[in-house]
Structure 1
Amino acid sequence: MVAQAVLAGSGAGPWPRFEEDVLAMHRRLTGVRDRHGRWQVPWPRMFGTPPWAVARELGGSVHRYRQAEVLAALPTPVPVFLGTRWLPRHVVLVLDERDGEPLVYNPALGAVVPLSSSRWKRRWWAVLPR
């Protein structure tokens, strides 16, 4: 989400406060305030940001991953949730394609790489623009 904000022009890069920005974004997307105005986070940070929160923030909708739909949404960046066969564990941002292969910004690497290079092989969801 922080990378999406920078790409949309609403953030500053390079990110001297990347970790702080990511945690603040997670709190903003998944948190609620208690009656004293303190943030209460019902969604554990260890599970990352849920796809419905990303969709709400971007004005998109959550869909099962289908490569043709993701590529059709370009040039709008598309968040894609990856993981194991039991659990989504990582989010990448599809930015482009080369010969039908999605090219993604992978925050774990800090680079744009082919989607197939991710160690997370199961593609769970995509947040597509409306």
Structure 2
Amino acid sequence: MTRLQQPDRRSCGAASLVMARRLIDARYAGLVHDQATFAREAASLHRRLTSLADVRGGWQVPWLRAVGTPPWAAARDLRLVTGVPYAVHPVRLRRRVWPHLAAVAPDRPVVVYVGSRLLPRHVVLVTAVEDDRATTYEPSSGRLVDVPRERWESGALRLAGWDLPWCVISPR
């Protein structure tokens, strides 16, 4: 499988959402199959997710591009891609994270904001959950990694240097 990485330090959320669309839409995956195309798509989506208009042209709260993808815009994009309503769930109490990850289905990936004790700093995409392991797309490396449930719940994620889950965007 080709490694598809986020194009810059602030587009991890957009890269995760582009990957989600690739997983759900085979035709789109065929069009976005190399790093150059993936990078263009992620950069374009990042601009749309942080602008005054959402991907369908509706009004949304603007957001500073320098701080990444706003969670509500990620939830809206997942709803548009999957046809299923998504919600933002704070999970600072780590024991609450796994039930939201368990909502993953092949056509319903889950986005997770991870970070330090003080701030969320990175976005990853959970694509499957099986046997207490979450297959996770890590956009800074462009790899799929298996993250055991214990690491999700203990706060030792080690995803791009970040350990703590902050919020999960999953189907309602």
TM-score bracket, normalised by the shorter chain, equals 0.7 to 0.9
**Paired residue for 1:38?**
none
Tell which deviates more after alignment, 111-120 or 83-92.
Answer: 111-120
Partner of 1:36: none
- Equivalent residue for 1:71? 102
Query: What SS is found at the alignment partner of 2:46?
Result: helix
Distance in structure 2 (CA, Å) of the matches to 1:26 and 1:113? 23
CA distance in structure 2 between the aligned counterparts of 1:6 and 1:72, rounded to whole angstroms: 19
The total of aligned residue pairs comes to 123
Quote the offset at 1:94 in angstroms. Answer: 0.4
Q: Where do 4+ consecutive residues of structure 1 move more than 4 Å?
A: none
Which of 83, 88, 93 is matched with 1:62 structurally?
A: 88
Q: Secondary structure of the equivalent of 2:20?
A: helix
For 1:72 and 1:27, the matched residues in 2 are separated by: 28
Q: Secondary structure at the match of 2:140?
A: coil
TM-score by length of 2: 0.64
One-letter code of the match for 1:62? V
**Would you tell me which structure has more helix in proportion to its own residues?**
2
Give the Cα separation in 2 of the matches to 1:78 and 1:69. Answer: 8
1:22 corresponds in structure 2 to 42
% identical equivalent positions: 38
Q: CA RMSD in A?
A: 2.0
Point out which structure has higher relative CO (alpha carbons under 8 A, 6+ apart): 2
Q: Deviations over 1:53-83 (max 9, x none)?
A: 1011122110123112211333321011111
- Quick one: which amino acid aligns to residue 51 of structure 2? G
State the alpha-carbon separation in 2 of the partners of residues 80 and 68 from structure 1.
Answer: 13
TM-score relative to the length of structure 1: 0.82
